[in-house]
């Protein structure tokens, strides 16, 4: 299938292979047994564009990684399955920790210029109706809610402005690694960095990855990044995707904003699960429902009664809500955002993890491409990624417990009414603005 010009964002420079790269390729292929499964010499030289890094997924994780890679001078490709702008199942919230990353991307004012709602508090509601309210910071580094169709499109356009090559409506169908056969759903497994051989650097050009797509185009990249969400195609093709825990289902819709709703987030625990609610502008409410498979239809009926929405209201849905993490560093394959670790989609945390993990990945990729010690850089990435989540995942555990054992969430709220300092401290850990991103 030929690509229409309006489906391609970014630069359109023809592929150029420097002479020193050609010499390295000649050396690589002279010492290689061409009877093995992968021989990409002709494809590299004649048909495929070559990139320093290819990123699968153009959401906040992929776009931020691409933008930071471009700022570091790397030739960068993004492959995105959908066409932007598009909506996404999400709580639509940017917590203050996002602002330092957005500032480094040069996007702070452009985010403020998007249609949004400035949030002032979060209200926890127990099953029995007991409530507790925690106020948010109200300065410039405050909590905002913005529709993902607007926010994600802005990030991807920023990557394009910086020279990133973007292919929308493009699905990765196969991956080839320079040391492996063609991979499919039962292909070779990439080795995590902790069991990879020690190397002093990455100075010799290595073909790395060949990426095949549904459009018929193929690309070559030295480093591959999976930023394609909880059901990551990259992880599946590399046999790294954990078995999903299909214990819960999430529904999300934008509905008319109820009168006098205010500028608050509501996390409401119900017998069937929980609901997250946040205004995204002056007329719309982001309504999220999370329940188990047997209870989700009753949650939807509750929403229809509570918010007076029609029975034929369209809903977006996702599953699984949680799964085991994927190792974030696998030699020259990295995972970021929900592709690496899935968090609750409606707690206001996911976009920060996506932006920051994208920035961290770009930093390690720049070091690898420039010839720095690869293993040291990857270990630093693993450490920084773990540190990013430290002390912040409590609300994800609470939200999961609220669905599997709804009374636990309500008991937590009732206890917090007696001693609110604990809940306020935990909430502050999420909505604080981190000086390091």
Full set of structural domains in the chain with CATH = 5-86+152-243+323-389 (3.50.50.60)
Q: Residue 134 burial by CB count (10 A; 0-12/13-18/19+): exposed, middle or buried? A: buried
Strands (E) in 80-217, as ranges, are: 93-94, 117-119, 121-125, 131-135, 143-145, 165-167, 172-177, 209-213
d(CA 252, CA 316): 5
Please report the pLDDT score of residue 324 as a whole number: 87
Q: Which residues contact 28 (CB under 8 A, 6 or more apart)?
A: 205, 206, 207
What is the pairing mode between strands 76-79 and 49-56?
Answer: parallel
Q: Kindly state the tokens that stand for 153.
A: 């499109």
Report the predicted TM-score, pTM, of the whole model to 2 decimal places.
0.80
Cβ-contact 284, 256 below 8 angstroms = yes
Please report the pLDDT score of residue 72 as a whole number: 97
Cβ-contact 57, 229 below 8 angstroms = yes
Please report the pLDDT score of residue 423 as a whole number: 62
- How many CB atoms within 10 Å of residue 186? 9
Please report the pLDDT score of residue 330 as a whole number: 86
Please report the pLDDT score of residue 5 as a whole number: 41
Q: Point out the residues of the chain with pLDDT beneath 70.
A: 1-47, 179-207, 245-246, 344-348, 391-404, 406, 409, 416, 418-437
């Amino acid at each position: 299938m030929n690509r229409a010009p309006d489906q391609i964002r970014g630069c359109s420079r023809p592929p150029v292979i420097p002479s020193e790269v050609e010499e390295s390729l000649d050396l690589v292929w002279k010492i290689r047994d061409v009877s093995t499964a992968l021989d990409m010499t002709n494809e590299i030289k004649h048909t495929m564009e070559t990139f320093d890094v290819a990123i699968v997924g153009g959401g906040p994780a992929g776009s931020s990684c691409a933008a930071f890679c471009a700022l570091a001078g790397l030739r960068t490709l993004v492959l995105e399955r959908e066409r932007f702008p598009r909506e996404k199942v999400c709580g639509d919230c940017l917590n203050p920790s996002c602002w330092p990353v957005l500032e480094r991307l040069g996007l702070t004012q452009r985010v403020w210029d998007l249609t949004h709602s400035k949030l002032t508090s979060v209200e926890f509601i127990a099953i029995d109706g007991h409530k507790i309210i925690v106020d948010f910071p109200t300065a410039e580094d405050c909590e905002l809610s913005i529709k993902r169709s607007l926010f994600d499109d802005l990030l991807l356009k920023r990557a394009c402005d910086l020279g990133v090559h973007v292919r929308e409506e493009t699905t990765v169908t196969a991956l080839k690694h320079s040391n492996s056969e063609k991979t499919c759903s039962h292909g070779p497994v990439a080795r995590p960095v902790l069991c990879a051989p020690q190397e002093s650097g990455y100075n010799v050009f290595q073909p790395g990855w060949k990426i095949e797509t549904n459009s018929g185009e193929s690309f070559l990249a030295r480093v591959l990044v999976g930023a394609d969400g909880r059901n990551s195609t990259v992880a599946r093709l590399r046999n790294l995707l954990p078995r999903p825990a299909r214990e819960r289902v999430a529904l999300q819709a934008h509905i008319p904003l109820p009168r006098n709703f205010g500028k608050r987030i509501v996390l409401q625990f119900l017998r069937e699960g929980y609901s997250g609610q946040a205004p995204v502008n002056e007329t719309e409410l982001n309504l999220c429902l999370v329940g188990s498979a047997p209870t989700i239809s009753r949650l939807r009926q509750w929403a229809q009664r509570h918010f007076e929405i029609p029975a034929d209201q369209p809903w977006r849905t996702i599953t699984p809500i949680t799964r085991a993490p994927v190792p974030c560093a696998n030699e020259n394959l990295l995972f970021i955002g929900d592709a690496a670790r899935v968090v609750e989609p409606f707690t206001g945390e996911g976009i920060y993890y996506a932006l920051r993990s994208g920035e961290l990945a770009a930093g390690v990729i720049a070091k690898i491409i420039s010839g720095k010690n690869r293993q040291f850089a990857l270990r630093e990435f693993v450490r920084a990624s773990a540190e990013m989540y430290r002390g912040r995942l409590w609300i994800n555990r609470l939200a999961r417990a609220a669905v599997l054992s709804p009374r636990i969430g309500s008991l937590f709220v009732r206890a917090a009414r007696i001693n609110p300092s604990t809940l306020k401290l935990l909430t502050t850990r999420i909505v604080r603005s981190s000086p390091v991103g």
